Structure 1
Amino acid sequence: MYKFLAKLNKMLLPSFTKQRLDITRAKKWQKALLAYRYYITIKSLD
């Protein structure tokens, strides 16, 4: 399930690293999105 979500995230959600987003200046929704992507990625690697 997590592997599918990780692939779906990669296709649909924006990549903030490619946009060179500064995390200290990120908005709350951007931080939440980063946390969500991180959680799904970690779970998919297990």
Structure 2
Amino acid sequence: MKKQFFKILAKINKLILPSFTKKELDISKASKFQLAIIGWRAYVTINSL
């Protein structure tokens, strides 16, 4: 049940949230908000696997 929820959430994140790897964002120059988005996406991805 939990894994299913995170898989759906990962698909929603992919549609809504920006991809910083495609924009070639430098992590050292990222703002706090961008770092929060990166962290959230990583958390969801890890839990969906």
Please give the range of the TM-score, normalised by the shorter of the 2 chains.
over 0.9
Partner of residue 32 from structure 1, selected from 31, 36, 49: 36
Q: Aligned pair 1:22/2:41, yes or no?
A: no
TM-score, L = length of structure 1: 0.96
Distance 1:14 1:33 in 2: 8
Question: Secondary structure of the equivalent of 2:46?
Answer: helix
Q: Runs of 4 or more off by more than 2 Å in structure 1?
A: none
Letter in 1 for 2:27: I
So what's the TM-score if we normalise by structure 2?
Answer: 0.90
Over aligned residues, Cα RMSD in angstroms? 0.3
Identity of aligned residues (%): 56
The offset of 1:14, in angstroms, is 0.3
Task: Could you tell me which runs of 5 or more consecutive residues in structure 1 were left unpaired when the two chains were aligned.
Answer: none
Give 1:28 shift.
Answer: 0.2
Q: Would you say how many aligned residue pairs link Structure 1 and Structure 2?
A: 45
